[in-house]
Chains A and B, each alone.
Chain A
Amino acid sequence: MTLLKKVTRTMLEHKSRYIGSMLLLMISSMMFVMLNMTSANLIYTFKTFSERNVLSDAEFSTDTAIDAAALSRQFAAKLEIGGTVDSEVKPGQTLRVFPMMNTVNIPAVQEGSVPGRSEIMLDRLFAETNGYQIGDTIHVANKNYTVSGYTLLPHFIYVIPSKDTMMNDPKTFGVGVVGKADFDSMQDRNKVYAIRFDERGNIKSQEAALKNALRSQGIRITNWQSTEKKVNVSYVPMKASIQSTMSAVVPLAMLALTCVLLGMLMWRMIRSESVIIGTLYAQGYRKRELRRHYLMFPLMVSVIGSVVGSILGLLLVAPVFNFMLTAFPMPVYETIFNPWLMIVAILLPVIILCSVTWGVIGKVLKTPPAILMKGGETKRKTNFIERNLRLDRVKFNTKFQIREQVRSLSRSLLLLFGVVVATMLILYGFAMKSSVDYMLNKGVKEMYNLKYEYVFKSEKTGAAPAGGEPFGAAYVSLINNDEISFYMTGVLPDTGKIILKDGSGQVLKPDSNIITAPLAKKLSVSTGDSVTVFDVENGKEHTFIIEKVADTYAGEFLFMPLDRFNKEFGLPVDAYIGIWSDMPMNFSQGELQNTKSIDAIIAGFGSLINQMAPMIYGLIFAAFIVGLIIIYIVTGMMVDESRASISLMKVFGYKKKEINTLILGSNTFIVAAGFLLGIPALLGSIGALYQSLTESLQLVMPVKLNFFYMVLGFVIVMITFEFAKRMCRKKVARIPMSEALKAGAE
């Protein structure tokens, strides 16, 4: 009991250390529980939504109608015809309308009722953002509809018009569901078949069999979209997977930090108490009693930290999950609670921290009591670096600061590790923003020297309309991997609408086969390599030699001269599929497959960048807190261990500023080194993250970190360091000179 009092008193004496450790553990456990539980619920909700509302495995269009019932039977699948209509509700505001499906991709009713005649269900975010309430009227595709409710679509969870848009913007785009009769009366509707196979294994081979069956019937597949590649759906498991990775990596990194920190604290405390330990030991205390006493420190820290953190994490699951549901609207049929996550979040820190302390105290207790009573064995040891440093020609202040660092390598390594983690957190958001900025400025803005792209439903021949420039396009898949598909684009050799540049910034004339960098990366090809693809529409094979690589991240394209393109794809010499222009052009709705506004894409990037801001600020704040705790604890530790020197310096007449520079400023080098090491560590991990994005989202992003953001990150790290130093200054000021005067030993 008396020894327990010692535990609480020691902890109160050095509360900043122990509170800091508890805070780190708290953050670690909180993030572990919150992220894991949220991603588990997200995955579970997606799974139940997919199953209960019969999410399709693929959607496809054909040139002629197919016998859905016969194919359903043949392939043991649910197959239903649906489609979409894009209707401009207001200028700059598009609503994508789907029919009410009954067997596949069944819309869920979030509120209100299934649409009857002349009724429509809207996605809630679009409705609320634009002021449409249940019962209101909305003009869609030349007809007034009454809003009957809010809907959630299993095949359109992430509400973005296309992959290019990246971020959902409910002001400009939303989805709605009308009854089949109303849908069928709409003009310019796309007919899309949705299929879900009953046998849930090996979907790919079932898809291939279906494609072959259609082709064998002479039916041309004009568009095939596997659901796992559809961004509106695949974003959800991708996001959950990123979160799962983060929920494993971030809390573990924090736990590792805390373990090192607490291990060091324990090591130092036990070493400084070796006289007491020796005395207690000599007076009859058993090893296990002493071990039990010292285990109380990590036990209290880890239990308090992990229990409070886990409870906080649990409390945050609901708001975070709800926040995610605003981006990925899905019906929550039921939520899951995994008690093992809580148990792991609490027990893991307890087991790890107690084991570390067990080892430390065990090592000390091996020393005979007589030696312990004299201060232990380790006291006389000088480490290798300390002994071999030759600093004769260095200025005293620098020399002193270097000595302070090498004196305790574990302390310096902890600081280094902490700053690396803080740097990675700070720069993570900045690196994401740099990548998006790069894609926008060096990609979309630089490559597209045009305002509008109009794609026709079928090829046209002859001269392009005035003010427009023709281009050809074919959607192709790799012959040896039909998972990878991209557009071959035929452009006029002297086009000024598409600007391609090589790595050195030189403009590439599109008079040869030019592949964009992200596609080259995805296909692992470079200049001189050949690529064999098949036309998705007719299955014909084509082989192309890559002649140049364009360093642009605006998309995945293989450009070639239009005449060569037409010849290769067996089209008339003056054929084209679309028009690029700088001004809006009028075509009849039935003529167009789709329209793209480059300004809208740029605006999409803008909204992505804007939406990244809270994440960036959040990460900076988290990094600031983590960095502050680590730097404060390590600097505080340094102050405590240098009490005698500080006191002595005061006696010698050192001024406060000089002492602060020597003691507190000695970490500057480690902090700067930690920041510099944090940059490659971050770029490496971001590269791995982007690689996974490439695989799951078919989106290639360049790993970039703007120099300005690096400088800004450094400034933030140094501000954190200054803040920690400021907090420690009081500690330095409190050390009395009498400590040196009364010192009883070296």
Chain B
Amino acid sequence: MFIAVKNLKKSYTTGKSKTEILKGVSLGLEKGQTGVILGPSGSGKSTLMNIIGGVDLADSGSIRVDGLELAALNDDQLTDYRRDSVGFIFQFYNLVPNLTVMENIEVVANISKAPLDMDTVLKAVGLETKKRNFPRELSGGEQQRVAIARAIVKNPKLLLCDEPTGALDYETSRSVLSLLQRINRDLGTTILMITHNTAIGDMANVVYKVRSGEIVETIRHEETTAAERIEW
């Protein structure tokens, strides 16, 4: 199992009140698969993804990614894990505003052990003509493509996408999803995606439905649907 999460618990304490975000979540994903975590706001899906991505720590439970037990890693080791193995894509792109498109990709290539060729990556996301533009000069869809390019340039083992189409219109969303699917197919990158759009679940090998910090349903697809054919 590439990702193996067992009995993961996480809570936050605010003043005297304690809120349980994850109440013993377990899930798994094979290498090269696409997983989707579906759930409403506040269900704990972002926390789950953050823990898998090594940016947050669980209170208890086990998270193994490619054989690495994240709970046992210290701060520096977690940094190395994120640096070498994980690519992030955010709902609001999170591009560095004062860097050009090319430089936003370079910001990750710069710290990668074996980055992909940046021009090739740019071409793959269809932005080769915009490499000198600043993020503010791009549309939302283009900005998300830059974010995808930035995430894949390090050729990560795992691509974590937090509502990658949440801020995009229907057509743009489909083209972004299609791009993610192509990456998964061509580079063999394992993708774990958070969304509240149930239709997106059709393009995943496994769908985990989360509600109030628990996985309430797991759906496995033998055949995945092409992104271009997904409708909502």
The reply on A380 being an interface residue by CB < 8 A is yes
- Encoded as 1 (CB less than 8 Å from any A CB) or 0, chain B from 80 to 106 comes to 111110101010111111110011001
Tell me if A741 and B55 are in contact (CB < 8 A). Answer: yes
- Do A746 and B95 form a contact, CB below 8 Å, given A653-B84, A737-B55? yes
- Encoded as 1 (CB less than 8 Å from any A CB) or 0, chain B from 43 to 56 comes to 00010001001011
Residue A651 contacts which of B88, B103, B110, B137 (CB distance < 8 angstroms)? B88
Tell me if B82 and A653 are in contact (CB < 8 A). Answer: yes
Residue A653 contacts which of B93, B106, B111 (CB distance < 8 angstroms)? B111
Residue A746 contacts which of B53, B88, B92, B107 (CB distance < 8 angstroms)? B92
Tell me if A644 and B55 are in contact (CB < 8 A). Answer: no
Segment from A9-17, A148-156, A395-403 that makes contact with B? A395-403
Closest to A386 in B: B98
Contacts of B99 in A (CB 8 A): 400, 403
The reply on B198 being an interface residue by CB < 8 A is no
The reply on A133 being an interface residue by CB < 8 A is no
Please, how many angstroms separate the alpha-carbon atoms of A649 and B84 in the complex?
13
Please, how many angstroms separate the alpha-carbon atoms of A427 and B189 in the complex?
59
| Interface hits, A68-117 → B, CB 8 Å | none
The reply on B108 being an interface residue by CB < 8 A is yes
The reply on B76 being an interface residue by CB < 8 A is yes
Please, how many angstroms separate the alpha-carbon atoms of A387 and B133 in the complex?
8
Min CB distance B116 to A, Å, is 15
The reply on A743 being an interface residue by CB < 8 A is yes
- Encoded as 1 (CB less than 8 Å from any B CB) or 0, chain A from 380 to 410 comes to 1010001100011000110110011001000
- How many contacts between A and B, using CB within 8 angstroms? 85
Tell me if B111 and A658 are in contact (CB < 8 A). Answer: yes
Min CB distance B75 to A, Å, is 9
Please, how many angstroms separate the alpha-carbon atoms of A653 and B137 in the complex?
27
Tell me if A379 and B111 are in contact (CB < 8 A). Answer: no
The reply on B134 being an interface residue by CB < 8 A is yes
Please, how many angstroms separate the alpha-carbon atoms of A379 and B134 in the complex?
12
Tell me if B110 and A649 are in contact (CB < 8 A). Answer: no
Contacts of B98 in A (CB 8 A): 386, 403-404, 407
Min CB distance A388 to B, Å, is 10
Please, how many angstroms separate the alpha-carbon atoms of A738 and B53 in the complex?
12
Closest to B102 in A: A392
Tell me if B50 and A741 are in contact (CB < 8 A). Answer: yes
Tell me if B103 and A652 are in contact (CB < 8 A). Answer: no
Residue A645 contacts which of B81, B96, B102 (CB distance < 8 angstroms)? B96
Contacts of B162 in A (CB 8 A): 741
Tell me if B103 and A399 are in contact (CB < 8 A). Answer: yes
Residue A654 contacts which of B83, B94, B143 (CB distance < 8 angstroms)? B83
The reply on B41 being an interface residue by CB < 8 A is no
Contacts of A737 in B (CB 8 A): 55-56
Residue A396 contacts which of B84, B106, B134, B136 (CB distance < 8 angstroms)? B106
Q: Number of B interface residues at 8 Å Cβ cutoff, please give it.
A: 37
- Encoded as 1 (CB less than 8 Å from any A CB) or 0, chain B from 212 to 226 comes to 000000000000000
Min CB distance A654 to B, Å, is 6
The reply on A745 being an interface residue by CB < 8 A is yes
Tell me if A379 and B136 are in contact (CB < 8 A). Answer: yes
The reply on A415 being an interface residue by CB < 8 A is no
Please, how many angstroms separate the alpha-carbon atoms of A746 and B79 in the complex?
24
Min CB distance B229 to A, Å, is 31
Question: For A387, A396, A404, A407, which residue has the most chain B Cβ atoms within 10 angstroms?
Answer: A396
- Do A654 and B111 form a contact, CB below 8 Å, given A379-B136, A382-B136, A741-B55? yes
Contacts of A658 in B (CB 8 A): 111
Tell me if A403 and B110 are in contact (CB < 8 A). Answer: no
The reply on B135 being an interface residue by CB < 8 A is yes
- Encoded as 1 (CB less than 8 Å from any B CB) or 0, chain A from 638 to 671 comes to 0000001100111111110010000000000000
Please, how many angstroms separate the alpha-carbon atoms of A738 and B57 in the complex?
12
- Do A652 and B94 form a contact, CB below 8 Å, given A382-B136, A741-B46? no
Please, how many angstroms separate the alpha-carbon atoms of A381 and B209 in the complex?
42
- Do A397 and B110 form a contact, CB below 8 Å, given A386-B98, A404-B98, A655-B79? yes
Residue A644 contacts which of B79, B80, B94, B107 (CB distance < 8 angstroms)? B94
The reply on A740 being an interface residue by CB < 8 A is yes
Tell me if B55 and A652 are in contact (CB < 8 A). Answer: no
- Do A653 and B135 form a contact, CB below 8 Å, given A399-B103, A400-B103, A745-B92? no
Tell me if B136 and A746 are in contact (CB < 8 A). Answer: yes
Please, how many angstroms separate the alpha-carbon atoms of A734 and B143 in the complex?
28
Question: For A382, A403, A644, A741, which residue has the most chain B Cβ atoms within 10 angstroms?
Answer: A741
Contacts of A743 in B (CB 8 A): 90, 92, 94
Min CB distance B108 to A, Å, is 5
Tell me if A653 and B81 are in contact (CB < 8 A). Answer: yes
Contacts of B90 in A (CB 8 A): 740-741, 743
Tell me if B50 and A648 are in contact (CB < 8 A). Answer: no
Contacts of A404 in B (CB 8 A): 98
Please, how many angstroms separate the alpha-carbon atoms of A658 and B82 in the complex?
15
Residue B55 contacts which of A391, A649, A738 (CB distance < 8 angstroms)? A738
Please, how many angstroms separate the alpha-carbon atoms of A652 and B135 in the complex?
18
- Do A396 and B107 form a contact, CB below 8 Å, given A404-B98, A648-B96, A746-B97? yes
Contacts of B55 in A (CB 8 A): 650-651, 737-738, 741
Please, how many angstroms separate the alpha-carbon atoms of A382 and B101 in the complex?
14
Please, how many angstroms separate the alpha-carbon atoms of A397 and B111 in the complex?
10
Contacts of A380 in B (CB 8 A): 136
Contacts of A400 in B (CB 8 A): 99, 103, 107
* A738-B50, A746-B136 known, 8 other contacts, Cβ within 8 Å: A382-B134, A386-B98, A396-B110, A403-B98, A740-B90, A741-B55, A743-B92, A746-B95
Q: Can you list 11 pairs linking A and B with CB atoms under 8 Å apart? A: A382-B137, A391-B103, A396-B110, A403-B103, A644-B97, A652-B88, A653-B84, A738-B55, A738-B56, A745-B92, A746-B94
Spell out B's residues near A (CB within 8 Å).
46, 50, 53, 55-56, 76, 79-84, 86, 88, 90, 92-99, 102-103, 106-111, 134-137, 143, 162
